[in-house]
Structure 1
């Protein structure tokens, strides 16, 4: 584990905080932003960047989810519950975003020898552990069977998952993304995805294995730590932990060059979603 700290330890970290602003934007905006930052940080024209984002009720599907045999029925259900639907450009399966879910992205430049995929995951895991170290609760990274979007870096306390980590690599940049269920009911979010898969798959045989969801294995940090946590509380912890990993922490926005890049990446993912979802 001794190789992990040097990934978090950067001379400077730029922070783009969209934990309030992005609530009013489509989640497609965030995936376009992360691709933009991969390109600029990977190309050496921008500092390593940390981004925080929150979106209003949205179900983010993975590419595999779009292959479900009765997808239209599942999508209609999600929309009937007041949720938007998008398809992301990184790996994984369906997840829930709402105003109690904080998303964090760390964007690193890929060095000459490259960043091993587990090293990126470990960096995020270590950061989250540091953010909540005062609670004396063990935060494990392992697959939580029965959760939505299961993976070997599900973060859990007492075998209940509160976060999932994904990665996207683009143009020599690495974006490590995590969703943190900060407050609200983790099991209620899971019930929504459980119903989506039930309607979209039914009893059909599929080439890909979709998760058999057990809502009882998912919870929010507020539920697990038995404290009323807000998004702002967790943002404070995030910034404090990141400040310890650099000489200079500063807030910023996209440069003019990045803004031009963003338009292209946002258009690309928007067009892709229109083709897949027919919206």
Structure 2
């Protein structure tokens, strides 16, 4: 766990707060942004980055979701429920993004030998534990069966999942990404994904095991901590925690080179989605 802490103790954190850009800000832009930041951090053109982002009513799909036998029916259901969707470029399965879900990307340079994958996951887990250290709860990292996009680094309190972590490596940069359900109903979000799989799979047997979702195993932090949290005050907790860890927080506009890379990665995201959907 100490190695994970070392990862959080960066001399500088470049803060990129995109948590209040509103409904026009699309998920494809976010995933392109993280790839660009990996490239920039990997090339030592930028210090380590902490990016915060929020998207309105969007379902972020994994590659495996695009292989559902009745995918079009599943996507039609999402549209009828008022959601957009895209296929992201990091691992995992369908995840709900909305105004009550804060996403964080921790972008650091890879090591010579390639950073151990667990180190990135543990750093993010440690960060979240520190952000909510004033609450008398135990934030665990283990797979929560019945949740959407289950994984061994699901973050939970008393067996209820409120966050999931993924990782992506691009050009000597590593992006550790987490979604944190801050407000709203975790069970309602899970119900939406359950319906998506019901419409997309029907009763067909598939080689891949899609999750059997039990909405009750998911909750938001507001529900779990019985506290009136907001995305804004959790952002404040994040910045205070990074400061306590000793890093200097800086803001830095995108350079011309970064803007160019971003454009290329964005085009790639759009092309990828055309291919899969």
Q: TM-score, normalised by structure 2?
A: 0.98
3-state secondary structure, aligned to 1:207: coil
* Post-superposition offset of 1:245: 2.5
3-state secondary structure, aligned to 2:204: coil
* Post-superposition offset of 1:255: 1.5
Q: Return the alpha-carbon distance in structure 2 between the equivalents of residues 21 and 202 of structure 1.
A: 37
Q: Partner residue of 1:234?
A: 234
Q: Partner residue of 2:177?
A: 177
22 and 105 in structure 1: CA distance in 2 versus 1, 3 angstrom threshold: farther
Q: Partner residue of 1:77?
A: 77
Q: Partner residue of 1:25?
A: 25
Q: Return the alpha-carbon distance in structure 2 between the equivalents of residues 208 and 217 of structure 1.
A: 22
218 and 247 in structure 1: CA distance in 2 versus 1, 3 angstrom threshold: closer
Provide runs of 4+ in structure 1 moved above 3 Å. none
RMSD (Å), alpha carbons: 0.9
3-state secondary structure, aligned to 2:149: coil
Q: Kindly indicate whether residue 51 of structure 2 is the aligned counterpart of residue 51 of structure 1.
A: yes
3-state secondary structure, aligned to 1:184: coil
Task: Determine if contact 1:17/1:251 at 8 Å carries over to the other structure.
Answer: no
* Post-superposition offset of 1:247: 3.7
* Post-superposition offset of 1:22: 5.2
Task: Determine if contact 1:41/1:107 at 8 Å carries over to the other structure.
Answer: yes
Q: Partner residue of 1:267?
A: 267
Q: Return the alpha-carbon distance in structure 2 between the equivalents of residues 71 and 275 of structure 1.
A: 14
Unaligned runs of 5+ in 1: none
3-state secondary structure, aligned to 1:3: helix
Q: Partner residue of 1:126?
A: 126
* Post-superposition offset of 1:251: 2.0
Task: Determine if contact 1:108/1:173 at 8 Å carries over to the other structure.
Answer: yes
Q: Kindly indicate whether residue 99 of structure 2 is the aligned counterpart of residue 99 of structure 1.
A: yes
Q: Return the alpha-carbon distance in structure 1 between the equivalents of residues 247 and 95 of structure 2.
A: 35
Q: Partner residue of 1:200?
A: 200
* Post-superposition offset of 1:14: 0.2
Task: Determine if contact 1:18/1:51 at 8 Å carries over to the other structure.
Answer: yes
Q: Partner residue of 2:243?
A: 243
Q: Return the alpha-carbon distance in structure 2 between the equivalents of residues 95 and 52 of structure 1.
A: 17
Q: Partner residue of 1:138?
A: 138
Q: Return the alpha-carbon distance in structure 2 between the equivalents of residues 180 and 252 of structure 1.
A: 25
Q: Partner residue of 1:10?
A: 10
1:172-221 CA distance string (max 9 Å, x none): 10000000000000000000000000110111111211100000000000
User: Which stretch shifts more, 123-132 or 196-205?
Assistant: 196-205
45 and 194 in structure 1: CA distance in 2 versus 1, 3 angstrom threshold: same
Q: Return the alpha-carbon distance in structure 2 between the equivalents of residues 237 and 252 of structure 1.
A: 21
Count of residues paired in the alignment: 277
